[in-house]
Amino acid sequence: MHANSVRLVQLVILVVIIGGWQMGVSSGLIDRFFFPPPFEIGGQIIRWVTDTSFYRHVGITLSETVLGYVIGTAFGVAAGVWLGLSRNAARIMDPFIKALNAIPRVVLAPIFVLWLGLGLWSKVALAVTLVFFVTFFNAMQGVREVNPVVLANARVLGARRSELLRHVYFPAAASWILSSLRTSVGFAVVGAIIGEYLGSSAGLGYLIAQAEGNFDAVGVFAGIIILAIFVLIMDSVLDVVENKLIKWRPNAAEKPA
């Protein structure tokens, strides 16, 4: 199907859903208390977006997400590469990692609030625990699946251990790590939002929790949509980063000489 007609069909679906929803509410078929009309939600979003204090909330959620993401990813890559290289360390750590990963992360939120207070860092900690494991498992897998011939070649050419890490293991693991980075953006947002939702005084999660406390469905829906846009923007930023970092990978457009 042509790209333009795909866009057209997508637009039609969107119009039908939103239009049907709006008409359903107008005609009284849908209860506007639970499903507020799309135009009201849109109005709420516009009110927020044009209000400068809204950006304080976005800024706080953004910094929690980014901090949780960066710290969790850094630890995840370091631990993953380490355990990927050392079979013994991996064998010893295995039950502990499985046990830690088995804990539903949401139950940790109160503990982090207890330890780190209601501010930024308790949310960052929650995001870190979510992001860490995704990156960790991918980095470990990436290091383990290094092509043994390429590795042998680099060793014969005289690479020392640190050089093997830099020139073979990290680049080989990079595509695995990067693919996990995209998943973990979502997790970082989840961590930050849940943290805010459970106890905070600012942030997008706080906005949603507040709206919910007032039985304000318009606010809840508007918050959800803002969050979705928020994640989409971060995702497209990562797209650019990924293409910059892995330019060696074959893609469909390029034909071998």
Residues that bind another protein (CB under 8 A): 149-150, 152-160, 163, 167-168, 171-172, 174, 246-250, 254, 256-257
Residue 104 vs 256, nearer CB to another protein = 256
Residue 102 vs 156, nearer CB to another protein = 156
Residue 7 vs 166, nearer CB to another protein = 166
Q: How far is the CB of 135 from another protein (least distance, A)?
A: 19
Tokens 């999660």, located at residue? 205
DSSP 150-211: HHHHHHHTT--HHHHIIIIIHHHHHHHHHHHHHHHHHHHHHHHHHHHHHS-SSSHHHHHHHH
Q: How far is the CB of 155 from another protein (least distance, A)?
A: 4
Q: How far is the CB of 18 from another protein (least distance, A)?
A: 44
Residue 107 vs 253, nearer CB to another protein = 253
Measured between alpha carbons, how far is residue 71 from residues 24, 33, 50, 240 in Å?
46, 41, 32, 21
Q: What whole-number distance in Å separates Cα of residue 174 and Cα of residue 245?
A: 9
Residue 27 per-residue DSSP state: T
Torsion over CA: 51, 118, 97, 71 (sign): positive
Q: How far is the CB of 247 from another protein (least distance, A)?
A: 8
Number of CB atoms found within 10 A of residue 129's CB: 20
Measured between alpha carbons, how far is residue 159 from residues 3, 78, 167, 189, 205 in Å?
48, 21, 9, 40, 49
Q: How far is the CB of 219 from another protein (least distance, A)?
A: 48
Q: How far is the CB of 94 from another protein (least distance, A)?
A: 24
Residue 102 vs 257, nearer CB to another protein = 257
* Chain-centre distance for alpha carbon 71: 13
Residue 32 vs 155, nearer CB to another protein = 155
